[in-house]
Amino acid sequence: MEIVISLAIGVLASAGVWLVLRPRTFQVLIGLSLLSYAVNLFIFSVGSLSIDKEPIVQPGVPANLVNYSDPLPQSLVLTAIVIGFATTALFLVVLLALRGLSGGDHVDGQEERP
């Protein structure tokens, strides 16, 4: 399970970095979204990868003997998903307005030469 999660984080992060370095603004937006998904998966995996375990620490039982899921990273990821969705929607509206005003969607403002 850890290998699958780490491979997913690596693929999302590398694809996100590659898209952020592209010259078009929509590709940059998708790259930032992929990077945020990679960070969300990383934070989620820090909590624990146990299945069907209660996110409760039992008093009197040492933490190394109980395999529980930590609820804090789950709540942080949920909050990050909501904020990321709102930020992506705002960024998309700004990019559409910029494309309408400037007529292009290049990051540096210059079109490619044929």
What residues contact 95, with CB distance under 8 A and at least 6 apart?
25, 26, 29, 105
Domain boundaries along the sequence of the chain: 2-49+70-102
**pLDDT score for 62:** 65
**pLDDT score for 104:** 77
Q: Please, what is the average pLDDT of the chain?
A: 82
pTM of the model: 0.75
**Share above pLDDT 70 across residues of the chain, in percent, rounded to a whole number:** 75
Using one digit for the tens of pLDDT, what is the confidence trace for 16-71?
Answer: 999 999 988 889 899 999 999 999 999 888 876 666 666 666 667 666 656 666 77
Could you give the CA distance from residue 25 to residue 106 in angstroms, rounded to a whole number? 6
**pLDDT score for 54:** 63
Using one digit for the tens of pLDDT, what is the confidence trace for 60-113?
Answer: 766 665 666 677 888 888 999 999 999 999 988 988 888 888 777 777 766 665
Tell me the C-alpha to C-alpha distance, in Å, between residue 3 and each of 7, 10, 77. 6, 10, 20
- DSSP letters for 40-70: HHHHHHHH---SS--S-PPTTS-TTT-----
**pLDDT score for 101:** 84
